[in-house]
Amino acid sequence: MEKSGRSMMNTSERSNGSGGPEDHLWRILDDTAAQLAAKYRAGQKEHGGRLWEKPRMLAHLTEESLDAIVYAYTLREQLTDVLRLMLAEQFNAAYEKLRAILEP
């Protein structure tokens, strides 16, 4: 990875331009790299750096993993609500709920 968070592979190695699985993969990798770099730098700034020396890493990992499970189930419930609203032809309410889910 370069310091910018972008892959060092050139574009011709990364994508065939078909919009198929390889393009999808590289969109995921590019987004992940950019978000990870930003999150890491923000954490370094917030917590004073030197993450590699931070105590209780296993406990922190466990806490974050449990949060991810809760988020996954909550998202499933929210999307199920959107589907129910759509099936009931309550499209404005479905749109608003979906917009709230997707908000950055």
| CB proximity list for 26: less than 8 A, separation 6 or greater | 7, 14, 15
Q: In the prediction, which pLDDT does 88 show?
A: 97
Q: Per residue in 3-14, is it b (16+ CB within 10 Å) or e — as a string?
A: eebeeeeeeeee
Helix (H, G, I), strand (E, B) or coil at 60: helix
Please state the pTM of the whole predicted model. 0.65
Residue 6 CA neighbour count, 13 Å, CB half: 6
Per-residue model confidence as pLDDT tens for the chain (104 residues): 444 444 445 444 566 677 899 999 999 999 999 999 999 999 899 888 888 888 999 999 999 999 999 999 999 999 999 999 999 999 999 999 999 999 98
In 3-87, beta strands by DSSP E: none
Q: In the prediction, which pLDDT does 39 show?
A: 93
Q: In the prediction, which pLDDT does 16 show?
A: 66
